[in-house]
């Protein structure tokens, strides 16, 4: 589909996605590596791929892949150490360009955002022309390339930008949305992972057209009420979500990658308590409560699972988060001798503002809450780690060094 001669009336949503962002930033200072397979990451040890050029991706290299595996796939690749401060700097420059085009910008990550340009047309022209302007300015002012999808909804715009990669532009006119969607595999829909796709395909639902034509109750039987309804809407081209400019954390979490795989339950229990304590601290500092607790477990073979549980009452108490998280973990019934753990993490999700009616009249965590608020005051005055749960006395400095802040997660990029 060309972009010069299509009717983009009503296609006011842009999804802008930087191309191999981290790798592209590194190549600005390494012109000798352009056009060659290059991998951003720390070689050796337990390093993982932060990003890779498209030349390296042709060998099967992907973000978050162990560096050792990436080097086996592409032994001639040039290794580029990451420089996170550069990524933040260039991200800000790119986002500033977006905000100069329209005030309606919703960043999704450090290297992608939705733009609503419905109010910018009188000054800047049609959505397609605005997309071209964005691409031109990003290239001219940063030296980087981006891909832009233009459509009537957020889902379709994101789908279009993915099809336009790398360094491309694709417009999906509102009137052609259904025709564009129907031939696609079900895995193209937002939120359809491997397990959901397998469940749908077992029922003979292999294309978006199959989903669109299937009775709603059939989809709900396959993937649940909420997911079934959402997939049915997307398959029929309906996505009412607007570009949201408010900046608000949707979850708060911490995780830790161990230096050596762990098969000791006591060590895992202490680490989960430490991480839960830090999540509680951050919830309280933000004046927020979490309704859901989720844990993440990555095994020595890099297989990763997540599990979650909704609380009877929202909380910001680290001890309550830990108790719930440990129950979730124990329910996994793992044989740690056969499947030692490489990484463990916890997140508080479905965040709400604390205060008002957020707490129940009966607070089951009153004693823990009072204790942790006292610890907050001590930490504010003397620094974190001066006082805390006795069971954490044995924790190591290495654990702190490896811990990943849920607000600034391990960097991976497309």
Contacts 24+ apart (CB under 8 A), 129-132: 130/14, 130/101, 130/102, 131/3, 131/14, 131/169, 131/171, 132/169
Nearest CA-CA partner of 254 in 391, 73, 408: 408
How many whole angstroms separate alpha carbon 390 and alpha carbon 369?
Answer: 17
**Could you give the angle at the alpha carbon of 306 between the alpha carbons of 339 and 44, nearest 5°?**
55
Residues 313/307, Cβ–Cβ less than 8 Å: no
Q: Annotated catalytic residue: which of 26, 55, 106, 112?
A: 112
pLDDT digits (tens, 9 = 90+) for 124-156: 999 999 999 999 999 999 999 999 999 999 999
* Residue that the structure tokens 């001219």 belong to: 140
Query: Which residue ranges form the domains of the chain, and what is each CATH number?
Result: 1-173 (3.30.70.270), 182-235 (1.10.150.20), 251-405 (3.30.1490.100)
Q: Which residues of the chain have pLDDT under 70?
A: 1-5, 45-46, 246-249, 355-414
Q: What is the DSSP letter of 33?
A: G
* Catalytic status, residue 112: yes
Q: With 0-12 CB in 10 A as exposed, 13-18 as middle and 19+ as buried, what is 2?
A: exposed
Q: Determine the Cα–Cα distance for residues 326 and 316; give it in Å rounded to an integer.
A: 16
End-to-end CA distance of the chain: 24
**Is 353 within any annotated ligand binding site?**
no
Confirm or deny that 96 is annotated as ligand binding. no
Q: Is the pTM of this model over 0.75?
A: no
What is residue 65's predicted lDDT score, i.e. its pLDDT? 86
Residues 6 or more apart in contact with residue 86 via CB below 8 angstroms: 25, 26
In the numeric block, the tokens 């929202």 are attached to 314
3-state SS class at 60 = coil
Q: Which residues contact 137 (CB under 8 A, 6 or more apart)?
A: 97
pLDDT in tens, 217-248: 888 888 888 778 889 999 999 999 899 886 56
């Amino acid at each position: 589909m060309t972009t010069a001669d299509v009717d983009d009336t009503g296609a006011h949503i842009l999804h802008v996605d930087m191309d191999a962002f981290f790798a592209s930033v590194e190549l600005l200072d390494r012109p000798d590596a352009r056009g060659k397979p290059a991998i951003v990451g720390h070689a050796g040890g337990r390093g993982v791929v932060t990003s890779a050029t498209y030349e390296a991706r042709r060998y099967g290299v992907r973000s978050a892949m162990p560096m050792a595996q990436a080097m086996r796939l592409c032994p001639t690749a040039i290794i580029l150490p990451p420089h996170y401060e550069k990524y933040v700097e260039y991200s800000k420059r790119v986002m500033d360009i977006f905000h100069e085009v329209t005030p309606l910008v919703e960043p999704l990550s450090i290297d992608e955002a939705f733009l609503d340009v419905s109010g910018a047309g009188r000054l800047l022209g049609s959505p397609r022309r605005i997309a071209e302007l964005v691409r031109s300015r990003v290239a001219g002012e940063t030296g980087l390339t981006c891909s832009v999808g233009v459509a009537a909804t957020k889902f379709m715009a994101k789908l279009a930008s993915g099809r336009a990669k790398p360094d491309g532009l694709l417009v999906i006119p509102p009137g052609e949305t259904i025709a564009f969607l129907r031939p696609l595999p079900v895995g193209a829909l937002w939120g359809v992972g491997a397990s959901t796709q397998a469940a749908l395909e077992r029922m003979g639902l292999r294309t978006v057209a199959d989903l669109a034509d299937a009775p709603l109750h059939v989809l709900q039987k396959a993937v649940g009420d909420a997911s079934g309804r959402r997939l049915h809407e997307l398959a029929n081209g309906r996505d009412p979500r607007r570009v949201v400019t408010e900046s608000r954390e949707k979850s708060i979490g911490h995780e830790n990658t161990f230096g050596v795989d762990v098969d000791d339950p006591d060590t895992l229990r202490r680490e989960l308590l430490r991480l839960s304590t830090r999540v509680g601290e951050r919830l309280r500092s933000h004046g927020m409560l979490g309704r859901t607790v989720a844990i993440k477990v990555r095994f020595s073979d890099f297989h990763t699972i997540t599990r979650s549980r909704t609380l009877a009452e929202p909380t910001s108490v680290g001890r309550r988060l830990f108790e719930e998280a440990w129950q979730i973990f124990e329910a996994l019934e793992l044989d740690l001798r056969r499947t030692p753990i490489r990484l463990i993490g916890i997140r508080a999700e479905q965040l709400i503002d604390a205060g008002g009616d957020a707490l129940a009249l009966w607070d089951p965590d009153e004693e823990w809450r009072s204790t942790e608020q006292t610890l907050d005051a001590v930490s504010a005055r003397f620094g974190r780690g001066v006082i805390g749960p006795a069971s954490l006395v044995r924790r190591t400095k290495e654990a702190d060094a490896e811990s990943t802040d849920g607000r600034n997660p391990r960097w991976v990029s497309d």
